[in-house]
């Protein structure tokens, strides 16, 4: 009997990421064979059990989709927004149901991956795999050697200390600076908070790569399917 955890099954149906699937379960939105399930450890028989989210039957995805998008500023990285803001999903006109891998905040632009492959999405976002994401940040002020040292070795933010980052100054005129920073964690607004912790205000922030996947020449709002080589690379991580 093929069994797997309910949140993994939901992710493999292309509904959302495994983490978001756990939230749906805890919110009481998931039923299995008509029974409400709120236990994260619950397992389903993938051949026989029928799983419903908000009353709709879901099924395992056969056609796996892998896309990269240049997210513009002013879009939220969700499938649907409660405040009716523009969503990144609106930019990708395909019949398949997909969702973002991780997130970029409303004011951040750049590379975003989208997929319906739940297993891959979960693996890419787990810190233990140390998949570096690289950003270009423009900030007010100059970054001195002490600032760079704190960022490279880990800096206290709220209730946690960040993992070491890869940091390089691209240019600085004493009034503003442009810095390249790579992190493998994915906490909310982390790069902005790291730079704020060394006294810098971010003017603009753009993600240019996800591991070895590059933004390339995609313009804001444009997207393309990942190449076979890019997909193989992600699955090898």
Q: Catalytic residue numbers?
A: 105
**224/222 Cα distance (integer angstroms):** 7
**207/104 Cα distance (integer angstroms):** 8
Q: What's the start-to-end Cα distance of the chain, in Å?
A: 29
Residues 25-35 as b/e (b if ≥16 CB within 10 A, e otherwise) read beeebbbbeee
Where do runs of H (alpha helix) occur along the chain?
6-12, 18-26, 118-125, 145-153, 190-197, 228-236
**23/1 Cα distance (integer angstroms):** 26
Which own/partner pairs from 85-92 qualify as long-range (CB within 8 Å, at least 24 positions apart)? 88/112, 88/114, 89/114, 91/221, 91/223, 92/67, 92/223
Cβ atoms of 51 and 31 closer than 8 Å: yes
DSSP 152: H
């Amino acid at each position: 009997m093929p069994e797997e955890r309910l949140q993994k099954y939901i992710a493999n149906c292309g509904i959302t990421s495994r983490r978001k699937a756990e939230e749906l379960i805890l919110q009481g939105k998931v039923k299995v064979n008509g029974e409400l399930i709120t236990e994260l450890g619950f397992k389903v028989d993938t051949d026989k059990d029928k799983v419903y989210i908000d009353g709709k039957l879901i099924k395992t995805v056969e056609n796996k989709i892998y896309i990269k998008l240049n997210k513009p500023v002013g879009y939220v990285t969700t499938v649907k927004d409660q405040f009716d803001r523009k969503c990144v999903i609106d930019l990708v006109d395909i019949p398949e149901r997909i969702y973002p891998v991780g997130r970029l905040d409303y004011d951040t632009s750049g590379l975003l991956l989208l997929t319906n492959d739940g297993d891959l999405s979960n693996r890419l976002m787990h810190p233990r795999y140390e998949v570096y994401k690289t950003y270009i940040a423009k900030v007010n002020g100059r970054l001195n050697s002490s600032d760079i040292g704190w960022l490279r070795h880990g800096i206290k933010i709220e209730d946690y200390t960040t993992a070491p980052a890869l940091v390089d100054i691209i240019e600085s005129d004493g009034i503003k600076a442009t810095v390249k920073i790579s992190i493998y964690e994915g906490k909310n607004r982390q790069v902005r908070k790291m730079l704020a912790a060394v006294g810098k205000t971010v003017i603009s922030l753009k993600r240019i790569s996800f591991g070895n996947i590059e933004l390339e020449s995609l313009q804001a709002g444009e997207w393309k399917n990942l190449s076979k080589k890019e997909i193989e690379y992600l699955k090898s991580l």
